[in-house]
Amino acid sequence: MGVGQVVRIMKSNSGKKIREKFEWMRDIYWGTEGIWSDGYFVSTVGINKDVIQQYIEMQGKEDTGQAKLVIN
């Protein structure tokens, strides 16, 4: 099984469970089954904390249309 297949399965299963547990998320992510962004990050060598942080920051900029949740 390829890495992409594993990631797709993990995102699909975890998204379903999260929507089941937190029903209010259905209102935020209406019209779509997915709560995760399309991409994922995989590396086997040469990655450090700064590279991962940069990837995360770019994902935040690219994920338009996602809800901005306020945690009290």
Query: What pLDDT is attached to residue 32?
Result: 67
Residues 6+ away with beta carbon under 8 Å from 55: 41
What's the predicted TM-score (pTM) here? 0.56
Give the whole-angstrom CA distance, residue 51 versus residue 68: 24
Question: ∠ CA 3-26-20 to the nearest 5 degrees?
Answer: 65
Q: For residues 25 and 35, is the Cβ–Cβ distance under 8 A?
A: yes
Query: What pLDDT is attached to residue 31?
Result: 65
Q: For residues 48 and 68, is the Cβ–Cβ distance under 8 A?
A: no
Confidence grade of residue 9 (pLDDT, cut at 50, 70, 90): very high
Give the whole-angstrom CA distance, residue 34 versus residue 11: 8
Confidence grade of residue 4 (pLDDT, cut at 50, 70, 90): confident
pLDDT digits (tens, 9 = 90+) for 24-72: 877 777 666 677 777 787 877 778 888 888 877 777 666 655 555 555 5
